[in-house]
């Protein structure tokens, strides 16, 4: 098995590896920010609302019937939350 020393790597390869490591580090720090955590919580609440609406359609006797206006409002909220995603938040 051939062993590659650091000295034998070419500068473009070292530059790409360094850039990749920095990018991963920045994204890790960014995704743990409070703005990103707040956005993720909003997404969890939104997915719960979609599941509740789907349950009302599947089992109408379980709760109040979901109107078309309510569904449109839920879609608008989903579009707003997705548009407000902070940069780097995965």
Residue 73: its pLDDT value, please?
A: 85
> Which range has highest mean pLDDT (8-12, 16-20, 34-38)?
16-20
Closest CA to 50 of 69, 77, 90: 77
- pTM (predicted TM-score): 0.56
Phi, psi (degrees; rounded to nearest 5) at 3? -105, 130
pLDDT tier at 54 (50, 70, 90 boundaries)? confident
Mean pLDDT of 17-38: 84
């Amino acid at each position: 098995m051939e062993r590659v020393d650091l000295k034998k790597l070419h500068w473009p390869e070292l530059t790409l590896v360094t850039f990749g490591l920095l990018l991963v580090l920045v994204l890790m720090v960014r995704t743990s920010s409070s703005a990103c955590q707040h956005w993720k919580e909003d997404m969890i609440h939104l997915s719960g609302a979609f599941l509740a609406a789907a349950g009302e359609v599947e089992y109408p006797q379980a709760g109040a019937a979901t109107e078309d206006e309510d569904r449109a409002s839920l879609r608008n909220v989903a579009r707003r939350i997705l548009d407000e995603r902070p940069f780097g938040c995965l």
